[in-house]
Amino acid sequence: MPSLHAEVLAARRRSTTDADWASFEARFEVEFPRLKDLFSRIYGEGSGDQLALLAVEAANSWQDRPAHLKAIDAARAQTPDWFSSNRMLGGVCYVDLYAGNLAGVRAGIPYFRELGLTYLHLMPLFLAPEENSDGGYAVSSYREVDPALGTMEELASLAAELGDNGISLVVDFIFNHTSNEHEWARRAAAGDPEYEDFYLIFRDRHMPDAYERTVREIFPDDHPGSFVQLDDGRWVWATFYSFQWDLNYRNPAVFRAMAGEMLFLANQGIDVIRMDAVAFIWKQLGTACESLPEAHLLLQAFNAVCRLAAPSLLFKSEAIVHPDEVAEYINPGECQLSYNPLQMALIWNSLATRDVSLLDQALERRHATPPGTAWVNYVRSHDDIGWTFSDEDAAELGISGFDHRRFLNSFYVNRFPGSFARGVPFQDNPRTGDCRISGTTASLAGLEAGDPGAVGRILLAHSIILSTGGIPLIYLGDEVGQLNDYSYLADPAKAADSRWVGRPPYQGGRYSQMEDPSTEAGAIFSGLRRLIEVRSATPEFAGGHLLPFFTNNPHVLGYQRPGVFDGEESIILALANFADTRQDITAGTLSGMAPDAVDLMTGAIVSLAAGRSLDPHEVVWFRCRTGGGRS
């Protein structure tokens, strides 16, 4: 492709130094062939024009990239596993709800540091329709910040300031759909053929009916099926809300346009982009239109574009689907990071059942990820909790997936006798039996119900995400035990979406108690802070390598984190009691561990020779040398 190479060479500006340009060219040699190959697999041979435009755009974007970001690119190229450190800790919040605006986020930096955050995910902060915006997940312009929150310049300077404080900035890349108020959508609605082809718009029900035979409903409370009707009678694909129109990635111009938006964001100083709703981006008649092979090719192509022009930008996959499918997005050439919805759901499962077998099984067979990747582990997100475990895995343990999901749903919405949880159903679909759960960590764990085990459960749940490897992600406000917020029911734009119950505004009252451990907020905060401190002082918790540990007690989860401490091989043994009663681990069970272990929470040297009892919801982390004669 000499001519294309010539075009890219011609994009070089006089001001660009030789060394800087050489670094681009070196990456071009490697990444461009990869991109070209992906393009031809997705689009066939007729897409060369778009590819050429994209290559030139990448060259321009690199030259526009601020010097301080290029310095980060260079540093991270030397330490590609920077995100695997045991000091990595994430927080996530809505800018408006948590901090009012970007200036408020900036003012929060001292607190984020105190908590130990090194990663901050600000939920969508782009221009979006005023009322119906799905909490910002309906984007009207990727290049404008919602004026109520601030400006793009402020976002860029916030990114720099966070970076100076050791905190990476994560924002969403909502690339499956735009809002119906996006310029492209407006033009499509007006009948401009160039932009009609940016979406999936059909004159009549023929194709929508054909697709809907095999596609599942995501937001059935909003509209049945996957299409909504426009005023002029046409139908547009809308997987989520009717005002979120799916982009048509069969059109290479859409890929190029979105790649441009991605590079624009990257150059504002974003470290990680959260790839929203990855499973849905490619549609194929006769299939479920989820996690199709082309979805992966598209992500790899976006990844290649990034490596060219914003080499240190990482992707985090948001695939809330079957665990086999979740795993397919995780690799260094696609998404380096991924939410771990299985671990999240199974933490809640174990809290409800007081049985750890499903979680134990998941740690054993579904925890390992390829080198150069990591999980983002979380207790809950801003979304619903869906029971995404594999029915086949459950069947091996004698559990019927369908019946068990029904139990979990009734438990978490307090329709099960004795439940401690106060969740709210989300998208309860009586036709399919599908239902998910909304609520804050504290309300789901029993704090709202006044259950005496609540604080212990909250800390236990967080201990799992803090010690299994990868990046733990705290939903800000949960560290002081924020409760469900039912005020959404009074807002017509939110009332039908129960996820808002779990998105309270900043809880000033609870934060004011965080230093007083006699309060619930203080007990949760001090317990969590201790876990965070211990983790960050424990190098064995870096990376994701985990070995199962069978406790011979169905209520107690065990796992081991091998590593190196003080120049010697070492293993952390984690035990977590999910029961509301005291539980014993026998001496025999612990006999493989050298008897003198360090209890990391207290620093004391303890003997495991006689076994160990755990209080209700107690978590222990022991630094051991394994038996094998190394004591």
Catalytic residue positions?
Answer: 276, 318
Minimum CB distance to ligand GLC, residue 418 (Å): 27
Beta strands at 272-275 and 314-317: parallel, antiparallel or unpaired: parallel
User: How many CB atoms sit inside 10 A of residue 616's CB?
Assistant: 18
Q: Is 344 in the site for ligand GLC (CB under 6 A)?
A: no
Q: What is the Cα–Cα distance from 379 to 630, expressed in whole angstroms?
A: 36
Q: Is 277 in the site for ligand GLC (CB under 6 A)?
A: yes
- Count of residues engaged in binding ligand GLC, rule: CB under 6 A: 16
For residues 135 and 150, which CB has a smaller minimum distance to ligand GLC in the complex?
135
For residues 341 and 522, which CB has a smaller minimum distance to ligand GLC in the complex?
341
From 217, 294, 384, 478, residue interacting with ligand GLC (rule: CB under 6 A)? 384
User: Helices 152-164 and 67-78, interaxial angle, to 10°?
Assistant: 40
Minimum CB distance to ligand GLC, residue 270 (Å): 17
For residues 168 and 178, which CB has a smaller minimum distance to ligand GLC in the complex?
178
Q: What is the Cα–Cα distance from 387 to 410, expressed in whole angstroms?
A: 12
For residues 218 and 344, which CB has a smaller minimum distance to ligand GLC in the complex?
218
Minimum CB distance to ligand GLC, residue 401 (Å): 16
Minimum CB distance to ligand GLC, residue 541 (Å): 27
Q: x/- contact string, 191-220, with ligand GLC (CB under 6 A)?
A: ---------------------------x--
Q: Is 320 in the site for ligand GLC (CB under 6 A)?
A: yes
Residues in Cβ contact with 3 at an 8 Å cutoff, skipping those fewer than 6 apart: none
Q: Is 137 in the site for ligand GLC (CB under 6 A)?
A: yes
Q: Is 134 in the site for ligand GLC (CB under 6 A)?
A: yes
Which of these segments, 134-142, 458-466, 480-488, 514-522, binds ligand GLC (CB under 6 A)? 134-142
Residues numbered 470-499 forming contacts with ligand GLC, rule: CB under 6 A: none
Residues numbered 157-186 forming contacts with ligand GLC, rule: CB under 6 A: 174
Which of these segments, 2-10, 255-263, 318-326, 523-531, binds ligand GLC (CB under 6 A)? 318-326
Q: What tokens were used for 291?
A: 């996690």
Q: Is 383 in the site for ligand GLC (CB under 6 A)?
A: yes
From 276, 479, 485, 520, residue interacting with ligand GLC (rule: CB under 6 A)? 276
Using DSSP's 3-state secondary structure scheme, residue 398 falls into coil
For residues 221 and 355, which CB has a smaller minimum distance to ligand GLC in the complex?
221
Q: What is the Cα–Cα distance from 272 to 275, expressed in whole angstroms?
A: 9
- What is the CA angle 441-219-316, rounded to 5? 60
| End-to-end Cα, the chain, rounded Å | 62
Whose CB is nearest to ligand GLC? 137
Amino acid identity of 585?
Answer: I
- What is the CA angle 198-170-163, rounded to 5? 135
Tell me the H-state helices in 378-469: 391-396, 401-412, 441-445, 454-467
What is the per-residue burial (b if ≥16 Cβ within 10 Å, else e) of 580-609?
A: beebebeeebbeebbbebbebbeeeeeebe
Residues numbered 433-472 forming contacts with ligand GLC, rule: CB under 6 A: 436
Minimum CB distance to ligand GLC, residue 367 (Å): 21
DSSP-derived letter for residue 97 is I
Minimum CB distance to ligand GLC, residue 408 (Å): 14
Which of these segments, 160-168, 327-335, 380-388, 591-599, binds ligand GLC (CB under 6 A)? 380-388
CA dihedral 560, 564, 570, 571 (to 10 degrees): -10
Q: Are the C-beta atoms of residues 384 and 437 closer than 8 Å to each other?
A: yes
Please name which of 381, 378, 379, 476 lies closest in space to residue 108, comparing C-alpha atoms: 476
For residues 51 and 321, which CB has a smaller minimum distance to ligand GLC in the complex?
321
Q: What is the Cα–Cα distance from 44 to 612, expressed in whole angstroms?
A: 62
For residues 339 and 621, which CB has a smaller minimum distance to ligand GLC in the complex?
339
For residues 42 and 281, which CB has a smaller minimum distance to ligand GLC in the complex?
281
From 90, 150, 323, 386, residue interacting with ligand GLC (rule: CB under 6 A)? 386
Q: Is 240 in the site for ligand GLC (CB under 6 A)?
A: yes
Q: What is the Cα–Cα distance from 314 to 372, expressed in whole angstroms?
A: 11
Binding site for ligand GLC (CB under 6 A): 134-135, 137, 174, 218, 240, 244, 276-277, 318, 320-321, 383-384, 386, 436
